[in-house]
Structure 1
Amino acid sequence: MTGEETTGARPGVVGGASVDGLGRRLALSFEVFHDARSRPWHEYAHLELGGRAAAEEAVRAAFRELRDAWPRVLESPSVEAHAWALLKEHVARRRDRGRGRRTVLVQTAAFMLAQGRPWLEELGALEHSIGLYTAIARLPERQYDVVMLRYVLEYPDDKVAHLTGMPRATVRSNVRWAKRTLARELGIDYSEPEGG
């Protein structure tokens, strides 16, 4: 039996695992977390910041900070919620350096409309699309996040919940409140569809 195979109390061994092994497991868990979120985080940051370079900078900085604090992050009540909040901090810092959310979002809306990607059809608001995006930019933070992820980036409720750390029921509730708020702001009659 080699020294690495023993589990006695000696320096470099924690709970039967070498510290190096523990470090590799932490690194692997971070890598899995990173790979599962890299694309959606980049998409969200790009929408928020209006450009790939700024989005890349924000996401890279958020992942770097997350990696450096990874053991503590794993002890948080919701790793997903902690990580999402960290990403949003980095995005907000860069957005605050340039244009505000409303300006970027309205420009993004024009781009998406030019691509023929109208959404929120159930609100009947397509003819007010720029006004719609302006209204979205004024939503409370959680409603804004779920609308951006669910409708603009077209992620299903489960994925939105996974990315933000919100329970699925909370995602759905925020979607309902956001729709009501947007309909009211746009002067559109809106009632919740049957069963929804």
Structure 2
Amino acid sequence: MSEGDDWLSEQAVSGELAGVLPVDYVAFHAHHHRTYLRYVHLQLGSDAEAIEVVEDVFTFLLKVWDHALREPSTEAFAWAALREAVERRRAVLDRPVAMVETAWFAALRRTSRTRLELLESKLGLYAAIAQLPERHYDVVLLVFLEGCSTETAARMMGISPATVRSHIRGARRKLSHTLGVDWAPGEESDQ
């Protein structure tokens, strides 16, 4: 992502439009836009692609906003639309998930030469994360790479915090098996 995430702030709903759009939609947009952009950027590896996909999703959501509000979980409905849009774009681009490279290079930009060896080991972790089942993968990205709380990730995905914690435990087990490290079941901290 661009240094300082300047491109993220440029995509907020303008004050002029906020007066004509449904208030709850504007609030939803303001609350989820940045995280959606970061999530899609990790998937596609491109600022421009992330912006386009997220704006397409929010345009779709605006068109069906009344329907989205009647869904059992507006957040889950929106998350499903976002995931579907990402998968369609990845298929069109014919490229794998970019998370391994985007997370690696973002970490590299933040580090000094003395920590480079440690980051090389993270590359294996990022590759293993990319192979997790869909829900485990989403939870790991939101909680550990984006820094969302368990509650925020649950709300965004339309699932319970207990389900997020369950996905974290499952992801830890799979990652420990894939990476050949011991997982201590007592280590249940989410962050």
Q: Name the TM-score class by shorter chain.
A: 0.7 to 0.9
Contact 2:143 2:153 in 1 (8 A): yes
| Per-residue Cα deviation, 1:12-45 (whole angstroms, up to 9, x for no partner) | xxxxxxxxxxxx8971111111111111111111
Does residue 96 (structure 1) correspond to residue 88 (structure 2)? The answer is no
SS of the equivalent of 2:70 reads coil
Q: How many residues align?
A: 165
Structure 2 residue aligned with 1:108:
102
Q: 1:178 aligns with which of 161, 166, 171?
A: 171
Structure 1 residue aligned with 2:16:
none
Whole-angstrom distance in 2 between the partners of 1:70 and 1:138: 33
Q: 2:51 aligns with which of 56, 75, 87?
A: 56
State the one-letter code of the partner of 2:50. A
Does residue 190 (structure 1) correspond to residue 183 (structure 2)? The answer is yes
Structure 1 unaligned spans of 5+: 1-23, 118-124
State the TM-score, normalized to the length of structure 2. Answer: 0.79
> Which of structures 1 and 2 has the bigger CA Rg?
1
Q: 2:71 aligns with which of 76, 83, 103?
A: 76
Structure 1 residue aligned with 2:9:
none
Whole-angstrom distance in 2 between the partners of 1:35 and 1:189: 40
Structure 1 residue aligned with 2:41:
46
State the one-letter code of the partner of 2:78. A
How far residue 142 of structure 1 moved from its aligned partner, in angstroms, is: 0.4
Q: Which runs of 4+ in 1 moved over 4 A?
A: none
RMSD over equivalenced CA pairs, Å: 2.1
Does residue 156 (structure 1) correspond to residue 149 (structure 2)? The answer is yes
Structure 1 residue aligned with 2:124:
131
Whole-angstrom distance in 1 between the partners of 2:84 and 2:188: 36
Paired-residue identity, %? 40
How far residue 116 of structure 1 moved from its aligned partner, in angstroms, is: 4.1
State the one-letter code of the partner of 2:148. Y
State the TM-score, normalized to the length of structure 1. Answer: 0.77
Structure 2 unaligned spans of 5+: 1-18, 112-117
